Structure 1
Amino acid sequence: MSCTLNGIVAAITVLGSATIAHSAVDQLDQFRWNHRIVVVFADRSDEANYVQQMASLRDAQEALAERDMLIISVVSDVAAIIDKPQLKLDADSLRKRFGAKGRGFRAVLIGKDGGAKLSSNRPITPAELFSTIDAMPMRQSEMR
């Protein structure tokens, strides 16, 4: 009986771990069709590229809001949605999903359809970001 119980506990543990890792992707899926997302990856929050990227996004708050954008910061093993820290995300799942498996800086623009639209190993300027978004058919429709 205890062998069966141990097996059940082990299975629940494995299933629980898979659910936690998968839930990060599911949390992004809840924003599909409603928000565009910029994910900013870095080793440390004091890296020059990370600081520059976050400052340029902070300075463009009005334009970001106009385009229904959310910012996700992934620093080391911690991932969080800026202005929504209560929503915890799985950093490893995000790194795998958006090709930022190694450490280092990377910025990725995700469209409302959930697909990566722009990816860079250097900070993306607001002009680059907004010109990419504004050229999208969905954004063209929103501007009419």
Structure 2
Amino acid sequence: MKHLYTTALTALFLMPAPFASAQEATEAPQEPVPLIQPAGETELSEFKWAARVLVIFADSPLDPSFSDQIALLEDRPDPLLERDVVVLTDTDPDARSPIRTALRPRGFALVIVDKDGSVMFRKPVPWDVREITRAIDKTPLRQQELADR
């Protein structure tokens, strides 16, 4: 019996390296997509029927309202992820990004676009995650999602 145990352990350690690395590669977790991303050349149509888009506009990344809003979102990301929210930031008014052109903000603005592409609301001040999720939960589309669960 001792000989059988030794043989099994030896076979385990002599397993071919490519097989071992292939097995490890399939078990490796995928890197999560960050909640907050720069808008860049992204278009709102890319998210239609896939995610709600929370767009944060500011005239500068140093805008205190912008910093406050980012801190509020980073503090409690889970409720936003549960509601399929993607956060895009745009702090360069001179770049004239497609999202900035479509939504036309002035200074700091918080805009939520629903999955159907309609603007749910615009706010000129930072909102905490609780206020944002309450507003999302009141929409007919979110009510339907909850009923379908």
Normalized against structure 1, the TM-score is what?
0.67
**Given the alignment, which residue of 83, 96, 108 partners 2:111?**
108
TM-score by length of 2: 0.65
**One-letter identity of the residue aligned with 2:71:** A
User: What secondary structure is seen at the aligned counterpart in 2 of 1:34?
Assistant: coil
Deviations 1:80-119 (A, max 9, x none): xxxxxxxxxx74432231121x4x2111011001111110
Aligned residue for 2:67? 51
2:98 is aligned with 1:93: yes
Query: Which residue matches 2:83?
Result: 67
Q: 2:58 — aligned with what?
A: 42
Secondary structure at the aligned position of 1:30 is classed as helix
The count of corresponding residues between Structure 1 and Structure 2 is 107
1:123 deviates by: 0.8
For structure 1, which runs of at least 5 residues remain unmatched after alignment?
1-23, 79-89
* Alignment partner, residue 29 of structure 1: 45
Question: For the aligned residues, what is the CA RMSD?
Answer: 1.9
Give the aligned partner of residue 87 of structure 1: none
Q: Is residue 74–residue 91 contact of structure 1 (8 Å, CA) maintained in 2?
A: no
Indicate the percent of aligned positions where both proteins have the same amino acid.
Answer: 29
Task: Name the amino acid aligned to 1:110.
Answer: V
Structure 1 counterpart of 2:101, one-letter code: K
Change (3 A) 1:99 1:127: same
Q: Which amino acid aligns with 1:76?
A: D
Greater strand content: 1
